[in-house]
Amino acid sequence: MDPKKFTCVAAAALVTAVPAAFAASAQAATPTLNGEGSTLVAPLEAEWATGWGTATGGDQVVYQAEGSGDGIKAITARTVDFGASDAPLTPTQQSACNAAGGTCLTIPWALSATGVGFNVPGIGSLKLTGKVLAEIYLGQIKNWDSSAIASLNKGEHLPNLAITPIYRSDGSGDSYAFSNYLAHVSSAAKNSIGVSTQPNFKVGVGAAHNTGMVSTLQSTKGGIGYIAVSYLIANKLNAAAVENTAGKFEYPNLREIEDAASVVKHASANAGISIVDPPKIAKIAYPISTFTYAIVPSTAPQGSLLQSFIRYALGTGQADGPRLDFAALPKVVKTAALATVKDIH
């Protein structure tokens, strides 16, 4: 991918096997938190776990990157100390999670984006609008040399090659962000695909986790898939520039993610925040940017340990984000998050 177009540099250690890095077992005598969920946040989670462990003299986090849907299920069942999700809880999920004991709190702790990767031989640069993306995932645009795509990419020799949309087969926060974006730009996508961690995609092939999306895209000529940006960078996959409301085609770099989040002027404690398809005042915003959250019960067996780890993530841990394409949280969001942490007991 052209570094002039997509510039963030990832840590060399971030590879497709990232989730396995969290599987090391902790000694029973060592203070340990167990978490499960988002694969998007997994690379940053690894940095936080290492840094927090050093800062605390050896406290540990065992994190299983199984997808946001599984993270919500695990914290609802109280089989982990925290869940991680790129999608806030739905009212039904909130009720179920609360029923297990204590209010389940939603704490934004990181900010990144869901990129649109593609595998089209001979094409390294691609512009797409929300309308075109929606029609691809609705099965209405089926070939890469379609006039709808060609008109956006004049000068590119688009091949006569079938498009294979790739989507997450597991419950995924990236699916939530992507389907939420499609719903904003296409009423047909909103009605047919819906908005959730497991949208109703009717065409294409499914793949589990961001690692599965990467490997499927790499092996599928003509493929297109929505993938957490850090995984696109780590695997040197091409990313499309997506048109924002201001009419500019932007890549999911830090500055563009930060501009999407700049529209947040107020944030409530214990609440999700959507920044997909931000208004045109955010002139260079990447339109599929997303916050990601820790989901924790207010009444937690390891409340003080949870508070310590999440405060680390919201404080010192924010500095770990930029090289993995995670932007710093806006001040108003960080303030709301820290206020919510105080409710953990």
pLDDT on residue 6: 57
Domain 18-112+266-274+290-341 and domain 114-261, same fold? Reply is: yes
Pairing of strands 205-207, 164-168: parallel
Contact 189, 182 (CB under 8 A): yes
Using CA atoms of 120, 190, 188, 121 in order, give the dihedral in degrees to the nearest 10: 0
β-bridge partners, 111: 291, 327
**Going residue by residue through the chain (345 aa), what tens digit of pLDDT does each one get?**
444 455 444 333 343 334 434 344 434 458 999 999 999 999 999 999 999 999 999 999 999 999 999 999 999 999 999 999 999 999 999 999 999 988 999 999 999 999 999 999 999 899 999 999 999 999 999 999 999 999 999 999 999 999 999 999 999 999 999 999 999 999 999 999 999 999 999 999 999 999 999 999 999 999 999 999 999 999 999 999 999 999 999 999 999 999 999 999 999 888 899 999 999 999 999 999 999 999 999 999 999 999 999 999 999 999 999 999 999 999 999 999 999 999 999
CATH 3.40.640.10 describes domain 18-112+266-274+290-341: no
pLDDT on residue 28: 47
Contact 92, 50 (CB under 8 A): no
How far CA 95 is from CA of 78, 89, 99, 160, 273, in Å, comes to 14, 9, 6, 50, 19
**Cα 99 to the center of its chain, rounded Å:** 27
CATH number corresponding to 114-261: 3.40.190.10
pLDDT on residue 5: 56
Rounded CA-CA distance 135/189 in Å is: 8
Q: Give the up-direction half-sphere exposure of residue 2: CA atoms within 13 A in the CB hemisphere.
A: 9
Domain boundaries, the chain: 18-112+266-274+290-341, 114-261
Sequential DSSP letters for 40-98: SSHHHHHHHHHHHHHHHTS-EEEEEE--HHHHHHHHHHTSSSEEEESSPPPHHHHHHHH
Write the burial class of residue 114 (CB in 10 Å: 0-12 exposed, 13-18 middle, 19+ buried): buried
Rounded CA-CA distance 196/132 in Å is: 20
